Amino acid sequence: MINTTQNNYIGFEVLFNHATIGILVADSNSTILMANPFLLNQFGYTKEEITGQQVNLLMPCDEKEHIALRKDGSKFPVETSHGEHTTPEGILTIIYIMDISDRKISEQTRQQLDQQKKEAAIKDGTLQRMNSFLNSLWTNAGAMIIVINTDGFIKWFNPAAERILGYKASEVIDVCTPLMLHDQDEVALRAEEFSRQLQQPVEPGMETLTIKARLNLLNEYEWLYIRKDGSSLPVSLTVSAIRDANDITGYIGIAIDLSRIKEAESELRISLEKERELNELKSRFVSLASHEFRTPLSAILSSIYLVSKYEGADDVTKRSKHIQRIISSVNMLTDILNDFLSVGKIEEGKIQVRHSTFDTAKHIGNILGEMDGLKKPQQNIYYAHHGAPQAFLDPTLLKHIVMNLVSNAIKFSPEGAIISIRTQCSDAMFQLSVKDKGIGISTEDRQHLFERFFRSQHVANIQGTGLGLHIVAKYAELMNGTVSCNSAPEKGTEFLVSLPFPQNQ
């Protein structure tokens, strides 16, 4: 009968030999004493070639950190962790090396795992030392390691699995199967996938997890593990068959937590998207600036030239006309630059909302007074306020919203048109309506109205940056409000802004 020590050793030996992570044992002089089969295949060495060599053969000291060197001279990135084990002969260093390039497992590695055999019986003292060493490996491994028997019940559940998944080994051994960690819908989908690949039916259950290992096929896939507390985490799971001669005696699953990798990938995607948007913003700015700046700059240059020609006393009227034209063009350039500055601050998150109580009608009236000079001939602006006299909002952001909407109404309405502005305050809400009798907006254009730089093809001949309504929507959003539009071609447009008052005012 095989005693308990031998059983433990055989089990640990199976774990050591079937591990899909490189394991290296070195003495205090950094001389390599042992290397598991996965590491030998990973680096391209044989046991005889590597035993007795220095660790820096595989990880040269002059290389950058986390770079390993194969026998053929090729390099690849690795993650390493170290542990120490004290023996009567001295301190042994255990190094775990994981290839993080693509975690490719070659057919040669699988064949090598299949061909491995149990070593001959060794002396009891050696068994004890090896048992202690493998216990250290089992305890210190960062990967989740689960061993099951042929019936699917969990027989081994390492400390990393306990720590990451929240289960105690005593809760699951001989009681549960690994299916407790899997989402059943994902298992069913993977069973369908394997059925197509293998051209044979695969039952959604334990067979899904083990069939490829049983057939000696590559069996490393991403899965979603479910912890004891119900939360989930992505893992890279490799399942291998444990064989005794030609018989399968169980399966070993090694799962690597991919949470941090997935988070890094997500952050990278977000960063790349922001960079793409920034590059687009720069390109659109250059294109728009070259187009929009040309008209006012040309007007300024020509007016300055003409002003210099009108030197007589009777040329006062002509000079005043061109001076006004210069002022108007400068204001136009200022508005364009202000739009770009506002968008830049919004994108960078530098806009701060500062609420205060103010007289609504007086504030809106002052804004409209400042804009009086923008009106076309015979245009009239009618303003009325209803409800409570005071609002509790950011008056500066509200001013930008009003100015953008009213300037658009003026710009896109004909001479002699009436522009109606209405505000209303209740106990919890401020509402603004800006209604014009202008050219209107088509249904198709309304879908893109608040996008950055959007300008309808129907207004290509009218000066504008395509940023005003985008700024209005963003400022309303910063105050937890909404903006909507009612319009039809040739029937005018009404913009409605709703801004709630903060609850803790």
Which residue, of 347, 365, 396, is where some domain finishes?
A: 347
| Predicted local distance difference test score (pLDDT) of residue 84 | 81
Q: Cα angle vertex 65, ends 61, 68, to 5°?
A: 70
Residue 243 has pLDDT above 60, yes or no: yes
Average of pLDDT values for 231-239? 91
Chain segment 177-190, per-residue pLDDT in tens: 999 999 999 999 99
- Is the residue at 118 inside a domain? yes
| Predicted local distance difference test score (pLDDT) of residue 1 | 41
Q: Are residues 278 and 406 in the same domain?
A: no
Q: What is the pTM of this model?
A: 0.43
Residue 106 has pLDDT above 50, yes or no: no
- Is the residue at 505 inside a domain? no
Q: Are residues 393 and 414 in the same domain?
A: yes
- Is the residue at 329 inside a domain? yes
The region of weakest confidence among 61-70, 270-279, 467-476 is 61-70
Other CB atoms within 10 A of residue 213 CB: 20
Distance CA 76, CA 63 (A): 11
What CATH code is carried by the domain that includes residue 444? 3.30.565.10
Average of pLDDT values for 391-416? 88
What CATH code is carried by the domain that includes residue 311? 1.10.287.130
Average of pLDDT values for 308-318? 69
Q: Are residues 311 and 233 in the same domain?
A: no
Q: Are residues 361 and 490 in the same domain?
A: yes
Residue 169 has pLDDT above 60, yes or no: yes
- Is the residue at 330 inside a domain? yes
Chain segment 141-163, per-residue pLDDT in tens: 678 888 999 999 999 898 888 98
Q: Are residues 116 and 163 in the same domain?
A: no
The region of weakest confidence among 15-24, 147-156, 301-310, 391-400 is 301-310
Distance CA 474, CA 482 (A): 9
Pick left, alpha or beta for residue 212 (phi over 0 → left; psi -120 to 50 → alpha; otherwise beta): alpha
Which amino acid, residue 501? F
The single-letter DSSP state of residue 230 is S
- Is the residue at 341 inside a domain? yes
311 or 126, greater pLDDT: 311
Which residue, of 257, 281, 303, is where some domain finishes?
A: 257
Q: Could you tell me how far CA 386 lies from the centroid of its own chain?
A: 46
> Strand 232-244 to strand 247-257: parallel, antiparallel, or no bridges (unpaired)?
antiparallel
Distance CA 392, CA 360 (A): 9
3-class state of residue 442 by DSSP? coil
Please count the structural domains in the chain.
4
- Quote helix, strand, coil % in the chain, to nearest 5: 45, 25, 30
127-149 b/e (C-beta count within 10 Å ≥ 16 → b):
bebbbebbebbbebbebbbbbbb
Residue 201's domain comprises 146-257
- Is the residue at 150 inside a domain? yes
- Is the residue at 161 inside a domain? yes
Chain segment 350-393, per-residue pLDDT in tens: 778 889 999 999 999 988 887 877 788 888 999 999 999 999 99
Q: Could you tell me how far CA 322 lies from the centroid of its own chain?
A: 54
What CATH code is carried by the domain that includes residue 137? 3.30.450.20
Q: Are residues 32 and 69 in the same domain?
A: yes
Q: Are residues 243 and 290 in the same domain?
A: no
Q: Are residues 230 and 277 in the same domain?
A: no
Q: For the chain, give the number of residues.
A: 505
The region of weakest confidence among 84-98, 224-238, 274-288 is 274-288
Residue 122 has pLDDT above 70, yes or no: no
Q: Are residues 362 and 486 in the same domain?
A: yes
Which residue, of 208, 230, 257, is where some domain finishes?
A: 257
Structure tokens at 306: 């003409």
Q: Are residues 106 and 152 in the same domain?
A: no
3-class state of residue 259 by DSSP? helix
Q: Are residues 494 and 371 in the same domain?
A: yes
Structure tokens at 384: 């009325």
Average of pLDDT values for 153-177? 91
| Predicted local distance difference test score (pLDDT) of residue 290 | 56
Q: Are residues 494 and 365 in the same domain?
A: yes
Chain segment 65-82, per-residue pLDDT in tens: 578 888 998 888 888 888
- Is the residue at 427 inside a domain? yes
Average pLDDT, the chain: 80
